């Protein structure tokens, strides 16, 4: 036999010229004793490795070796942690990242062998070879960090490898918006089009696309001229999802300006007439944004129709969400404080409003400095 014992838990292989350290990890889930061997070129290094292992065992900073791959762990994490506790849209987004990118690149690596360098190379590949944006890769990092930290909590890992990588920096997106004159032009062009009410709800109330598509007639109070925002209707791939608003602050009651009140009255009447004309063929729902047969519009279809409309009329390109940004910009130009704008938009904190609409903060900052200068002049 080429391997001979040198001292307790250390043996020497005179053929391979390596020292073997026997490392015990206790009992696994099946009741079997778990033992692993690690090789070192010198006896001093072997002793050092054994001491480190024993110290980790004493401090409970070790885990039973597993053959679980990252792919297997992500499947388990999604099934047991994410699906029961996250919105369907979040589950869909996570699964797309996992299936399209993480599994093909890192999935076959054993979970306990996954190192920071593997992950760092993955980020570089996504940025430089695949061509994903920094903000998108940052979402990959957040997903991996969440999954691997849960693995630490479940005693599958000693430490989280994403804690030792440098994720891409988030690049702030510049909010695209219209001036008040361009918004007026859009209002004129969209008059009589089925998008008219949707455009006014986004530009006049600052509603998100999902909030417009999720708005029900029961939330429209014509008597008190208020609109209650409490539901959202969005898409997770090809599946339409009805859910609560984005967060607690998004649950809000907004005043109904006269132009929006008239549009809502007109839409209510149109739906009643269509229902009377179509009879049983009319699709009954309580949604405000529906087609001629009463079926609610798909959120993606609304966005696509808006994009085609502005291109056809050669207006500056913005998304439907850009009308929400336009609402904030016009409100600020009329002297509305940032705090009140954030409340109307359903932001959780004023800092959220300031982070998204930096141009509003800049204009407020300039106005403040000018007032101080005028006072001292």
Among 193, 200, 196, CA closest to 324: 200
pLDDT (average), residues 1-20: 84
State what percent of residues in the chain have pLDDT above 70: 85
Could you tell me the residue ranges of all domains in the chain? 3-58, 70-164, 180-368
Q: Which two tokens stand for residue 69?
A: 């791959």
The answer to whether 2 and 13 are in contact (CB under 8 A) is yes
pLDDT (average), residues 77-83: 93
pLDDT tens per residue across span 362-376? 555 455 545 555 666
Average pLDDT in the chain: 86
* pLDDT on residue 133: 93
pLDDT (average), residues 155-165: 89
Which of the four CATH numbers 1.10.150.130, 3.30.360.10, 1.10.10.10, 3.40.50.720 does domain 70-164 have?
Answer: 1.10.150.130
For residue 358, is pLDDT > 60? no
Any alpha helices (H) in the chain, and if so which ranges?
A: 43-58, 70-77, 83-85, 88-97, 103-106, 116-125, 134-153, 180-190, 196-205, 209-213, 258-278, 299-312, 320-333, 338-345, 350-356, 358-376
pLDDT tens per residue across span 29-79? 565 666 778 889 999 998 998 888 777 765 555 555 677 899 999 999 999
* pLDDT on residue 335: 79
* pLDDT on residue 55: 72
User: In CATH terms, are 70-164 and 180-368 the same topology?
Assistant: no
SS3 311: helix
pLDDT (average), residues 206-210: 93
pLDDT (average), residues 89-93: 91
Instruction: Please state which CATH class domain 180-368 belongs to.
Output: mainly alpha
pLDDT tens per residue across span 181-191? 999 999 999 99
* pLDDT on residue 175: 76
């Amino acid at each position: 036999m080429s391997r001979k014992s040198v001292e307790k838990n250390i043996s020497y292989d005179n053929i391979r010229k390596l020292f073997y350290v026997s490392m015990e990890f206790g009992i696994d889930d099946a009741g079997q004793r778990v033992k692993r061997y690690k090789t070192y070129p010198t006896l001093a290094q072997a002793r050092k490795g054994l001491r480190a292992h024993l110290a980790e065992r004493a401090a409970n900073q070790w885990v039973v070796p597993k053959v679980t791959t990252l792919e297997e762990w992500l499947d388990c994490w999604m099934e047991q942690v994410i699906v029961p506790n996250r919105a369907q849209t979040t589950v869909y987004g996570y699964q797309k990242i996992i299936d399209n990118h993480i599994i093909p690149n890192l999935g076959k690596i054993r979970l306990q062998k996954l190192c920071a360098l593997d992950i760092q190379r993955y980020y570089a590949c996504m940025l430089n070879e695949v061509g994903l944006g920094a903000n998108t890769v940052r979402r990959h990092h957040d997903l991996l960090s969440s999954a691997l930290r849960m693995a630490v909590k479940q005693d599958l890992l000693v430490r989280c490898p994403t804690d030792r990588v440098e994720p891409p920096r988030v690049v702030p997106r510049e909010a695209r918006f219209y001036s008040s004159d361009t918004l007026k032009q859009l209002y004129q062009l969209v008059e009589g089009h089925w998008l008219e009410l949707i455009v006014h709800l986004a530009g006049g109330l600052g509603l998100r696309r999902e909030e417009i598509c999720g708005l029900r007639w029961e939330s429209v109070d014509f008597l008190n001229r208020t609109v209650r925002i409490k539901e959202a209707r969005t898409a997770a791939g090809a599946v339409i999802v009805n859910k609560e608003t984005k967060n607690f602050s998004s649950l809000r009651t907004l005043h109904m300006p006269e132009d929006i009140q008239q549009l809502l009255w007109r839409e209510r009447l149109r739906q009643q007439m269509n229902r009377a004309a179509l009879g049983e063929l009319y699709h009954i729902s309580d949604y405000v944004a529906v087609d001629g047969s009463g079926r609610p519009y798909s959120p993606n279809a609304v966005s696509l129709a808006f994009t085609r409309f502005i291109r056809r009329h050669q207006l500056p390109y913005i998304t439907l969400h850009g009308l929400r940004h336009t609402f904030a910009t016009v409100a600020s130009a009329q002297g509305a404080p940032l705090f009140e704008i954030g409340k109307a938009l359903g932001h959780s904190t004023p800092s959220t409003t300031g982070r998204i609409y930096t141009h509003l903060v800049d204009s407020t900052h300039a106005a403040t400095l000018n007032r101080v200068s005028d006072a001292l002049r």
